[in-house]
Amino acid sequence: MTRLTKIFLGISIVFSLIFIVGFFLPNNFKAEQSLLINKAHGQIYPYLNELREWEKWSFISKKDDPTLHITYSQPSSGEGANQRWKGDHLEDGILKIKESYPLEGIRYEMRIQNGEIKINGNIRFVPQTETATRVDWICEGKLGDNPLFRYFGLLFDDMLEADMAKSLNKLKRVAEKESLP
């Protein structure tokens, strides 16, 4: 065998191993964050139920990606409402409210990476006092069948939790500063 053939064979083996190992990595993810907000749960709910309010506090915002273009369904609040976005940093995605309960919180579905990654989100309220609410945010889902996405999944939990923590802190600042009807 020539030296070039050995190099090519060695590179092929390494890439094959990387690809095969990808099939054995976890295909699912779960990220959780909680934060105490000094507002009653009924005063936090409008920021979650109305998708146009998400830009004030969530990581899906023009503040985080100035190239972001967001469109909203009509109506833009409540069960069935959705928002679509496309940008250079966040790429493209869609978020749809699946369930919405003023006293409990919301459940939503988000699809990113051209729909290949599906995230089921649950933001729920846990009243602590009459004027304070713990907001629990849980995101979980599957990374798809692509073994390369599974490598991405090794970092995805931490990245998602960091975005969720940042978003909850923004929600706390916004909700404690202003009031929506």
Q: 75: cis peptide before it, omega within 30°? A: yes
| pLDDT on residue 180 | 66
The pTM assigned to this predicted structure is 0.83
Is 27 in contact with 143 (CB distance < 8 Å)? yes
| pLDDT of residue 87 exceeding 70 | yes
| pLDDT of residue 78 exceeding 70 | yes
Domains defined for the chain, CATH in brackets? 27-177 (3.30.530.20)
The strand pairing partners of 30, in sequence order, are 140
DSSP classification of residue 1: -
Structure-block tokens of residue 49: 């139920």
| pLDDT on residue 181 | 61
pLDDT band at 25 (very low <50, low <70, confident <90, very high): confident
Where do we find the tokens 């931490």? 158
* φ/ψ bin of 152: left (φ > 0), alpha (ψ from -120 to 50), beta (otherwise): alpha
Q: Is 72 helix (H, G, I), strand (E, B) or coil?
A: strand
| pLDDT of residue 139 exceeding 70 | yes
Is 99 in contact with 107 (CB distance < 8 Å)? yes
Is 7 in contact with 143 (CB distance < 8 Å)? no
Distant-in-sequence contacts of 121-126, Cβ < 8 A, 24+ apart = 123/48, 125/41, 125/44, 125/45
